[in-house]
Amino acid sequence: MEIKREPVSDLRVRQLTAVDMLRGDLPEEDIERYVEERVLTTTVDRAVAWAQGNSLYPLTFGLACCAMEQIHVVASRVDIARFGFEAFRASPRQADLIILSGRVSIKMAPVIRRIWDQMLEPKWAISMGACCSSMGVFNNYALVPSDKFMPIAVHIPGCPPRPEALMHGILKLRDKIQGHAPDGWRERYDADGTEEVLPDGDFSSADISIFKPGDTAGA
Amino acid sequence: MSLTENYRKREESITLTSEPAGTGETHELLTLNIGPHHPSTHGVLRLLATLEGEVVRDIKPIVGYVHTGIEKTAEDKAYWKVIPVVERMDYLGYYFNAMAYCGAVETLLGIEVPPRAQYLRVIHLELNRIASHLVWLGTGALDLGAISMFWYCYREREQLLDLFEMSSGQRMHTRYFQVGGVMEDIPRGFEEKLRQFLKIMPPRADQYADLFEKNQILLERLRGTGICDRQTLIDLGVTGPLLRAAGDPWDLRKAHPYSSYDHFEFKIPVGTVGDNYDRFRVRHAEIYQSVKIIQQALDGLPEGPHITPDRKVALPPRHELATSMEALIHHFKLVTEGFRVPPGEAYYPIEGPRGELGCFVRADGSSKPARVHMRDPSFSNLQALAPMVKDAYMADLIATLAMLDPILGGIDR
Amino acid sequence: MPDATELELIAQELRDADSESLLNTEFHRGRAVLVANPPKVKPVLEHLRGRGYTFLASLHGVDYYPHEPRLGVLYEMLDRTRVDRISVKARVHTEDPHINSVVDMFPGAEFPEREVYDMFGVVFDGHPDMRRILMPEDYEGYPQRRDFPVGGEPVLFTYNEEQSYGKYM
């Protein structure tokens, strides 16, 4: 006579393994797998980075036309509050993200550097628009590209970039902070190994800087 | 027990007599630097305020923090290529910058702009005026603390920028105005969307007035503050809503109509006292008048070409390039070298959202302008800040700055 | 705009009052220009103000390189009652770029004159605060003169990538 058995249900398996675990009867590998399936482990760095990326406090800083599109990011259609970044702080001591929105003139560059120095670590900078990333439409005596005096994490092209583009840039910065920075087009087109070999050099300080690193005058 | 006794004795020595501001024992003047990075300076404006207590005794604006050398860059580019560069000066009234420049070049060339192009220009100019006033209203209210206004104004502004995107492909700095007309005719669907917008805009403007006017704090802050009389403003070269709020009905659209503004019937809002409240009312009323102008322009939009048929100045339509040799040569010459303008100078003033925006162009016969200068209204309006806030409180300074509506891109160019 | 005959009438009046005040008149595309002698700019503007041109719409500079005298200062005057515009031009040499300031007549000329000084180097005698307005205070050179280079950064391609300023990562 064949005994018809029902296949053992997943729930029953889990219950029996739980009983074994509590009695101390589970073999080694099974314990590892048991813990992995139920407990979220991570390093403290990654947890902190996750939290930092999700709670950026931008600085209220608008220079020129890109500032108008930056204000549209705060408005209701492209709502920056969806991501939790709506708390724009006016004081650089309380902010950790500076969005350089607009053209940086030579009179303003030392001021921006001073504001950057006043921000506390960890801090990031987004260069929004063509004028501060490269020279933009106006390649002339009066402008400074922002790379010359401060480290920029994300450059956003456009003149001015749409508010959706700025949002995309901020989210890319969030990815970068949280540790899974995308490789961009290399990832999409599976082009691993096409990176250009950069010249050897000292990348820790810019050739031209208004305040040298370690100079406390900027604080 | 003795502790409370001493305390009561000390309490009795405090006298709560009210002394008028600034007449205390010390007349110490404090110089306070406001900006260039400050939550409420519109753009990067730096103000050196000399304060006595809370009272502003003197104020010195320092500008130049967003100076881009646009006028110098414009000397390096062909006339056609100057339009996107010049548009970025007053970055809220980009159509106005382009209009002033194109008007000056058209004067020098002596070409006529077809009526359809003129009406399209008027539609876009007035839409841009509404957009600029919405930004002023939203950010001005934000400065004064009425934060909800900001989101409502930007809701309308998003619709306006959608319209601009429909007609030219870009939300801001659209390069829509070209020398001789406009770049392209309006697409299908633009008219319906525009009519829909015009229907909802006046009730929304009523809602903004309700938000503002029923708020006692805003009324107290704006009424009677920042008063400057008409003659001082005229001496300082102030034009636009500031002058109209002081009681002077000077508007270039009525006084010296350009681009067929005389075909439309509209009123000019004029204030009486010249305080911040009047400035608010004048700009708010201008929104209704702009809606009226656009309505008339849309109803009476004539048929015809959207750019001058003069092939030496405007690009020929693309379908002609396949059949006509002259069209091909004209296209080639215009795109590579650009058109040449006979030598001369022209000054073309228009009424921008902040006042008289004039463009001075000097041509020397080549395909690049020899000098482009924008007479920006905010540059002259900023000189009026000092008389407006003299002997007023710091809070009134912020309110006056909000109602003054300076755009630093135009000031610094 | 005053038409050509009216412009000549105004010019004649000015020459009658002071024979050295006007150098020339120009009339192009409906715009009337009085070319004034630089030391006599203030009496010319005073006369125009008496004639109704009470509003100074714009004060700006032009560099007429290579025609001498190089640096021109233009005053755009506006008559608000008749809606009439007239321009006054005064040209000075680079060697001695001095001209009288009109701030006492038109207080709104303060910022524009500072801008002309900043961009062209024309010194306005009698201006209360003659210093740079748009460029940094210690900048050397007058940017909008025609012989001043436009400047800017080199456009980066792969072959000149070493010139990159972005040494920060």
Which of the two residues, A2 and B326, has the higher pLDDT score?
A: B326
Residues C29/B107, Cβ–Cβ less than 8 Å: yes
d(CA B226, CA B228): 6
Chains with ≥3 Cβ pairs under 8 A against C?
Answer: A, B
| Contact criterion met (CB < 8 Å) for C56 and B237 | yes
| Contact criterion met (CB < 8 Å) for A69 and B408 | no
C1 and B CB contact within 8 Å: no
Structural element, H or E, at residue B181: strand B181-182
Structural element, H or E, at residue B3: helix B2-12
Do you find a cis peptide bond into A122, omega within 30 degrees of 0? Answer: yes
- Enumerate the β-bridge partners of residue C74: C60, C89
Mutate to test the interface with C, among B70, B379, B381, B413 (most CBs of C within 10 A): B379
- CA-wise closest residue to C110 among B382, B404, B244: B382
Mean pLDDT of A52-68: 89
Mean pLDDT of C112-135: 90
User: What torsion, rounded to 10 degrees, do the Cα atoms C97, C101, C106, C111 define?
Assistant: 60
Please list the pLDDT of chain B residue by residue as tens digits (413 residues). Answer: 455 566 666 666 555 555 555 555 556 788 888 878 888 768 889 998 888 888 888 888 999 999 988 999 998 889 999 999 999 999 998 999 999 999 999 999 989 999 999 999 999 999 999 999 999 999 999 888 888 889 999 999 999 999 999 999 889 999 899 998 998 899 999 999 999 999 999 999 999 999 888 889 888 889 888 888 899 999 999 999 999 999 889 999 998 898 889 999 999 999 998 889 999 999 999 999 999 999 999 999 999 988 888 888 888 888 888 888 988 999 999 999 888 999 999 999 999 999 999 999 999 888 899 999 999 999 999 999 989 988 888 889 999 999 998 999 899 88
At A86, phi and psi to the nearest 5? -80, -5
| Contact criterion met (CB < 8 Å) for C33 and B383 | no
Q: Specify burial of residue B396 (Cβ count, 10 A radius: 0-12, 13-18, 19+).
A: buried
Which residue's entry shows tokens 């500031």? B242
Residue A205 has pLDDT above 50, yes or no: no
pLDDT of res. A211: 44
B410 and A CB contact within 8 Å: no
C-alpha to C-alpha distances, A40 to A34, A43, A167, nearest whole angstrom: 12, 10, 30
Residues C21/C43, Cβ–Cβ less than 8 Å: yes
Mean pLDDT of A110-135: 89
pLDDT of res. B177: 93
Minimum-distance CB partner of C151 among A140, A145, A151: A140
Kindly list the residues from chain B whose CB atom is less than 8 angstroms away from the CB atom of residue C132: 64
| Contact criterion met (CB < 8 Å) for A208 and C162 | no
| Contact criterion met (CB < 8 Å) for A141 and C162 | no
Q: Specify burial of residue A211 (Cβ count, 10 A radius: 0-12, 13-18, 19+).
A: middle
- Enumerate the β-bridge partners of residue A99: A126
Residues C133/B376, Cβ–Cβ less than 8 Å: no
3-class SS of residue B36? coil
The rounded Cα B52 to chain-centroid distance in angstroms is 33
| Contact criterion met (CB < 8 Å) for C134 and B413 | yes
Quote the tokens at residue C45.
């503007």
d(CA B178, CA B141): 35
Q: Which of residues 243-282 of B touch A (CB under 8 A)?
A: none
| Contact criterion met (CB < 8 Å) for B238 and C132 | no
> Which bin fits C146, alpha (ψ -120 to 50), beta or left (φ > 0)?
alpha
User: What torsion, rounded to 10 degrees, do the Cα atoms A186, A188, A191, A192 define?
Assistant: 70
Minimum-distance CB partner of A65 among B44, B88, B151: B88
A60 and B CB contact within 8 Å: yes
Range name among A44-48, A117-121, A122-126, A201-205 with the lowest pLDDT average: A201-205
Mean pLDDT of A120-127: 88
Q: How many CB atoms lie within 10 A of CB B195?
A: 13
Chains with ≥3 Cβ pairs under 8 A against B?
Answer: A, C
Task: Tell me the pLDDT band of A208, cut-offs 50, 70 and 90.
Answer: very low
A89 and B CB contact within 8 Å: no
Kindly list the residues from chain C whose CB atom is less than 8 angstroms away from the CB atom of residue B230: none
Mutate to test the interface with C, among B375, B382, B388, B408 (most CBs of C within 10 A): B375
At A215, phi and psi to the nearest 5? -80, 120
Residue A187 has pLDDT above 80, yes or no: no
Task: Tell me the pLDDT band of C73, cut-offs 50, 70 and 90.
Answer: very high
Residues of B with CB under 8 A from a CB of C: 63-64, 67, 69, 71-73, 75-76, 107-108, 110, 234-238, 250, 255-256, 344-347, 349, 356, 358, 360, 362, 370-371, 373, 375, 379-380, 382-383, 412-413
d(CA A51, CA A174): 10
C-alpha to C-alpha distances, B98 to A10, A190, B371, nearest whole angstrom: 71, 45, 16
Minimum-distance CB partner of C151 among A141, A202, A207: A141
Range name among A31-40, B386-395, C33-42, C108-117 with the lowest pLDDT average: A31-40
Q: Dump the DSSP string for B119-180.
A: HHHHHHHHHHHHHHHHHHHHHHHHHHT-THHHHHHHHHHHHHHHHHHHHHS-SSS---EETT
C126 and B CB contact within 8 Å: no
Task: Tell me the pLDDT band of A134, cut-offs 50, 70 and 90.
Answer: confident
C109 and B CB contact within 8 Å: yes
Residue of C nearest to A141 (CA): C151
pLDDT of res. A204: 44
d(CA B278, CA B272): 7
Chains with ≥3 Cβ pairs under 8 A against A?
Answer: B, C
B43 and A CB contact within 8 Å: yes
Residues B387/B228, Cβ–Cβ less than 8 Å: yes
pLDDT of res. A182: 74
pLDDT of res. A2: 62
d(CA B177, CA B99): 7
Task: Tell me the pLDDT band of A126, cut-offs 50, 70 and 90.
Answer: very high
C25 and B CB contact within 8 Å: no
Q: Dump the DSSP string for A42-83.
A: --HHHHHHHHHHH---BB----SHHHHHHHHHHSSSS-GGGT
Kindly list the residues from chain B whose CB atom is less than 8 angstroms away from the CB atom of residue A138: 68-70, 73, 85, 88
Minimum-distance CB partner of A107 among C136, C149, C169: C136
Summarize pLDDT for A8-55 with one digit per residue, the tens: 667 877 787 778 777 877 777 777 777 766 666 667 888 888 888 888
Structural element, H or E, at residue B259: none
Quote the tokens at residue C32.
């009337």
Task: Tell me the pLDDT band of A188, cut-offs 50, 70 and 90.
Answer: confident
pLDDT of res. B347: 93
Minimum-distance CB partner of C144 among B64, B71, B256: B71
Task: Tell me the pLDDT band of A177, cut-offs 50, 70 and 90.
Answer: confident
The rounded Cα A108 to chain-centroid distance in angstroms is 26
Minimum-distance CB partner of C133 among B63, B71, B344: B63
Residue A198 has pLDDT above 90, yes or no: no
| Contact criterion met (CB < 8 Å) for B237 and C29 | no
| Contact criterion met (CB < 8 Å) for B69 and A143 | yes
User: How long a stretch of residues is chain B?
Assistant: 413
Per residue, the 3-state secondary structure of chain C, as one string, reads: CCCHHHHHHHHHHHHHHCCCCEEEEEEECCEEEEEECHHHHHHHHHHHHHCCCCEEEEEEEEECCCCCCCEEEEEEEEECCCCEEEEEEEEECCCCCEEECCCCCCHHHHHHHHHHHHHHCCEEECCCCCCCCCCCCCCCCCCCCCCCCCCCCCCCCCCCHHHCCCCCC
Task: Tell me the pLDDT band of C169, cut-offs 50, 70 and 90.
Answer: very low
d(CA B126, CA B259): 12
Mutate to test the interface with B, among A69, A74, A107 (most CBs of B within 10 A): A107
**pTM to 2 decimal places:** 0.85
